[in-house]
Amino acid sequence: MTAYSTYTDQEITTFLKEGDQLAFTEIYNRYSGLLYAYAFKLTADRDVTKDMTQELFISLWDNRSELELKTSLSAYLYTAIRYKFLKQVAHQKVKAGYAEKFLQTFESGISSTEDYIEEKDLIRTVEKLVSELPPKMARAFVMSKLEFRTHQEIAEELNISEKTVKNLISQAAVQLKPKIGLSLLTVILFS
């Protein structure tokens, strides 16, 4: 067995792109602790940090054949963690905004019968359009955007890869956008 710890990041990355699991293990051993510490400084939440780090390494393995580094491996990994953190922060802000709006609506009540009817019509329209998607695509979209399930949870339940889940959700968004409009789709996608 070759001592992977003696290889440079560039050499290890080349092996990884070829599907070498030992190269992946070496990258994990070199960087998981450092990335966890960096992510924890950003989030201050152990569970979120653990999830972000795991998702990064899952993504690295799943996308290994397309991996093109324009910087060092360490810079790539730190940038990926920072991106995951920023994406999570944006997602949390949007969710918090919608939760606040929901609570305001709930406390004040629906202002009129007309508003209520419009809301119900909108929900029916979205449900109808989602039901017209291919079954697996519709299920992945609903699980992600309405049930707030992770790509990993969806992949396990539907017995498909996380990359396939991501593609199905993306394709669903592309198909729904012209039918329901960008503003409503943004509400659905980021809530």
For the domain that residue 8 is a member of, what is the CATH number? Answer: 1.10.1740.10
Together in a domain, 68 and 123: no
DSSP secondary structure letter of residue 5? G
Q: Between 57 and 4, whose confidence is greater?
A: 57
Residue at 92 is within a domain: no
Together in a domain, 126 and 79: no
CATH, residue 156: 1.10.10.10
Together in a domain, 24 and 74: yes
Indicate the pLDDT class of residue 102, thresholds 50, 70 and 90: low
Residue at 101 is within a domain: no
Together in a domain, 126 and 56: no
Residue at 100 is within a domain: no
Per the rule left: phi > 0, alpha: psi between -120 and 50, beta: everything else, 44 is: left
Model confidence over 168-177: pLDDT tens digits? 988 888 887 7
Q: Is 0.95 topped by the overall pTM? A: no
Q: How many CA atoms lie within 13 A of 178 on its CB side?
A: 3
* Mean pLDDT along residues 4-28: 91
Q: Report the domain count for the chain.
A: 2
- Final residue belonging to a domain, choices 53, 87, 121: 87
Together in a domain, 12 and 63: yes
Model confidence over 146-168: pLDDT tens digits? 677 889 989 998 999 999 999 99
Highest mean pLDDT among 27-31, 86-90, 128-132: 27-31
Together in a domain, 37 and 74: yes
d(CA 154, CA 88): 18
Residue at 104 is within a domain: no
d(CA 11, CA 100): 50
Indicate the pLDDT class of residue 86, thresholds 50, 70 and 90: confident
CA 131 to chain centre: 23
Indicate the pLDDT class of residue 1, thresholds 50, 70 and 90: very low
- Final residue belonging to a domain, choices 87, 102, 137: 87
Indicate the pLDDT class of residue 188, thresholds 50, 70 and 90: low
Question: Residue 134: how many CB atoms within 10 A of its CB?
Answer: 12
Q: In the predicted model, is pLDDT for residue 99 greater than 80?
A: no
Position 79 scores a pLDDT of 86
Highest mean pLDDT among 66-70, 89-93, 140-144, 151-155: 151-155
d(CA 73, CA 129): 42
Residue at 10 is within a domain: yes
d(CA 42, CA 51): 13
Question: Three-state SS across 126-181?
Answer: HHHHHHCCCHHHHHHHHHHHCCCCCHHHHHHHHCCCHHHHHHHHHHHHHHHHHHHC
Residue at 124 is within a domain: yes
Structural domain range at position 147: 110-189
Residue at 102 is within a domain: no
Out of 7-21, 44-58, 117-131, which region has the weakest mean confidence (pLDDT)? 117-131
Alpha helices per DSSP H over the chain: 9-17, 21-43, 46-62, 73-108, 113-131, 135-145, 151-158, 162-180, 182-189
In the numeric block, which tokens belong to residue 138?
């519709």
Position 21 scores a pLDDT of 93
Residue at 95 is within a domain: no
Together in a domain, 77 and 127: no
